Structures are given as structure tokens and as C-alpha cells.
Structure 1
Amino acid sequence: MCYMQRALSKEDTLVIHEIYASIQGESTFAGLPCTFVRTTGCNLRCSWCDTTQAFYGGTRMPRTDVLAKALATGTKLVELTGGEPLLQPAVFRLMTELCDAGRTVLVETSGEADVSQVDPRVHKIMDLKAPGSGESKRNRWSNLEHIGPRDEIKFVLASREDYEWMRDAIRSRELPSRTPNLLASTVFGKLLPKQLVTWVLEDALPVRVQLQMHKYIWAPDTQGV
């Protein structure tokens, strides 16, 4: 066993927190059956993070086993999430293999990790961290050069300050010219969605207000759903 682990490179194994089938709770794919491959580990510590359980632990698995398990669920949609999936080199090859297998592949990423090497067939769902996250300074703005019409930019908002930051970023960075898929959601239990809707309508902001469907279907802290 130890010899096999040493023989496998970082591109051959991943540390996995969980793999499960559910519905997609967010993004333009919301409501569709989806298999989630959740990796372990994140280099950010957002104040509102709802997956802190994925910071540590997990099981190191051969990439081929992860691929087989993801395909075995039978869903056409597969999302790589975390943690921060792009911290693990094997994720890039896994995403390509999933695309080759005919799956529609999403990757949810923090906006700090470099997205330039992601297979162009993959739909990138990239956060831009507002001040309320405590990690706004970590945004890798050069990632915007690798965002296209199939990709999505997500903002998670906890306050009016966060909203105004998002509004100014959308305008100053001309984000609608990069992708029509701009997503705005609230920190669950912190900012009321109806307040966000009011602000978006007042400013005629070109965003899709979204709810985390899975948190309304199941309890907000339920895992593996």
C-alpha cells in the first residue's frame, strides 16, 4: 500500500471529502440532478463559509477511482467543489476525463486560485470575494481574462457594503462583457434575499439573484445533499 501511494504522483491522486448525487442548488444549473465531487482543503477562510468540514481530513484516492465513482451515479452534470478543488493538480486531468466521458462539468472556485489551466469545456463558477468575506484582498483579478460566456461569476453578500462593492466591481470591471452569468446570493440567515432584490431592481443591475436551494430543501447544516 505504501509503495503504491509513493508511486502515484499528485496528478494521479486526490484527497476527497465526499462524492454524492443530489440536485444543483445554485448557478444557472440550479435544480438539475448533479454529482458533487468535494475535495478537501482550502487556503481561504471566508467568514461565512458553510463547508468548513472540508478544510481537513478526507480520503486520498486514485484519480481513476474518483472518476469511476463520479460516473457511476449516472447524472449528466458533475461539479468539482470543495474546499478549493483547484489546489489539487489531479483535478485538472479529472475534469478533462469527465468531459471526455460526455459529462457537463462545473468547477466551483474561490477566485483566488488560478483558473487559466481549466479545460475550456468546463463551466467555471468563480467567486469574487466581497469585503464581508474577510478575503476580498485575495481576489485574483487576472482570472477575469479567462472567464468567457459559458462561465459564471458569483458574489456572496452579507451587507449593503458588500452589495455596493459588487455593483462597483460589475461596472468598473465591465463584467457583463465577459459573461452574462453574474450571480448574486446572500449569506444564509445574514442578509434577507428580498432586500437584495430591492437593491438590484433600484440599480437595474444585470445579475441573477439566486437562493441556495439545497438549504431550503434540507436543513442548512445538512451535509452530503
Structure 2
Amino acid sequence: MNLKLSENFFSIQGEGPFSGYPTFFVRLYGCNLKCLWCDTLYAREGDRYYTLNVNEIIEIWEKNYSLSPYITITGGEPLLQTAIYPLIEKFLAKKCIVSIETNGSLSLKDLPSQVVKVVDLKTPSSGMAEYNLYENISFLNSKDVIKFVIQDRKDFEFALKKIKDLDLLSKTQVFFSPVFEKLSPKELAKWILEIKLPIRLQVQLHKLLDLK
């Protein structure tokens, strides 16, 4: 089965529960949302993609990066392409630690339980909050992550309401990430400390290190 890729690369994971680990990234092409602050427009616009089959992707990892078991499948929106499922199964069979980064608008029900799911709940500043698929929360556990990308205080208050209304902290990890160059990590840290909830501040480590 073939997949449309925007890129594949090896870098330091800058986000999520495995931040800091050397990771093989498979960035798939195409997205069903148009977030206003999207930082990977090239993964959804202009038909800039190439095609690899599942075995070719596995071979790239095996030949070049297999000393690190960390695999991240991202996008775009990776769940748009059904061939991710055999890809995930092959990585899992090789004892890899697989995470998927998804925009939260498509169902997670068919993902294997071993996959670490990093799921956006879109905030008002994204312009896409109406597409949040809240039933996905039932497919998450303590190893997974709900991520809110925060641009301003309105986003922050929106996220707090969702955390309370959906009882998120009893179900999974919750991360707040500031929109790059829109809200300072220091300011967001102050807000998190004020509310005293076990919410994890996430900065985009790869951007601080000037890495992909």
C-alpha cells in the first residue's frame, strides 16, 4: 500500500510525551483542516508530495535510524490515509515506540492500543474548533495526550472549560503549547501556575534548537 509523504526525516522530537528523543518522523501529505496558525502549510498545499509504499518507509528506518525505536507519524492529518494502519503494524512488530499526531477531527477507534496518540483539541484561534471530535476522548488513556495550542487568554479559558466539562485530567495527559511567536512560553507558564492544575507546558523544543 502506498502513502503520500510530505517528508521523512530524523530529528529530536520537540513535542509530546517523548520530547527530547531522537525520532524518525513520517510526515504525511494532506489535511482536512485549515488552522489559521498552521506551521506546516507545505504538508497540505501545492501537491508537494512523493509516494512510498509501506515497505519502503520501513526500509528507510531500518537502514538509517533503527538504533532509535521512536517513530512519529504526523502531517498534515495522517488519519486521512488508510495505509497508515499496515505501516503502524509493521513498526510495532519491530518493537518500535509509535506515536501519531492528529488534529482530533477524525476517529481514533481503529488505531492499535499500543500507539501513543497525541490529539489536538482545537481552540478558537485556530478557526477550526467546530471540528473537534469529542468522542475520541473515549479512546485515550494515561499514556496518550490531549494538546491545546494556546494563542491568547480566550484560548486558555476555552481549554480550561473543556478540561472541566470533559474531565480530561482523569483520563489522559493534558498539554498546553503556546502558538510560536504569538504567546510567550513564559506568559503561558504564569497562567498555568495560577490555576494549579497538573497541566504540562510544552514548548517546541526543535524550534528552540533550530531543527526540523
TM-score interval, normalised by the smaller of the two chains? over 0.9
Paired position in structure 1 for 2:10: 21
> Does 2:197 match 1:208?
no
Secondary structure, counterpart of 2:142 in structure 1 = coil
Map residues 26-105 of structure 1 onto 2, 5 A cutoff: 26-55=15-44, 56-72=47-63, 73-74=65-66, 75-105=68-98
Which consecutive segments of 4 or more residues in structure 1 shift more than 6 A? none
> Does 2:182 match 1:217?
no
How far apart, CA to CA, are the structure 2 residues paired with 1:76 and 1:62? 20
TM, length-normalised to structure 2: 0.95
Q: Give how far 1:83 is off.
A: 0.5
How far apart, CA to CA, are the structure 2 residues paired with 1:13 and 1:63? 6
Q: Give how far 1:197 is off.
A: 1.0
Secondary structure, counterpart of 2:104 in structure 1 = coil
Q: Give how far 1:57 is off.
A: 2.0
Q: Give how far 1:70 is off.
A: 2.7
Q: How many residues are matched?
A: 208
> Structure 2: any 5+ residue segments left out of the alignment?
none
> Does 2:187 match 1:195?
yes
Q: 1:108–1:124: 8 Å Cα contact kept in structure 2? A: yes
Identity among equivalent pairs (%): 37
TM, length-normalised to structure 1: 0.90
Amino acid of the structure 1 residue aligned with 2:167: E
Q: 1:19–1:70: 8 Å Cα contact kept in structure 2? A: no
Paired position in structure 2 for 1:107: 100
Paired position in structure 2 for 1:186: 178
Deviations 1:179-205, CA, capped at 9 Å, x for gaps? 1x2110100000111111111111112
Q: 1:37–1:70: 8 Å Cα contact kept in structure 2? A: no
Deviations 1:31-51, CA, capped at 9 Å, x for gaps? 111000000000100011000
Q: Give how far 1:71 is off.
A: 3.1
Instruction: Judge which range, 81-90 or 197-206, deviates more.
Output: 197-206
Task: Let me know the Cα RMSD of the aligned residues.
Answer: 1.0
Map residues 147-186 of structure 1 onto 2, 5 A cutoff: 147-179=140-172, 181-186=173-178
Q: Give how far 1:68 is off.
A: 1.5
How far apart, CA to CA, are the structure 2 residues paired with 1:137 and 1:70? 37
> Structure 1: any 5+ residue segments left out of the alignment?
1-11
Q: Give how far 1:53 is off.
A: 0.5
Paired position in structure 2 for 1:3: none
Instruction: Judge which range, 137-146 or 57-66, deviates more.
Output: 57-66
Deviations 1:148-170, CA, capped at 9 Å, x for gaps? 11111111010000000011111
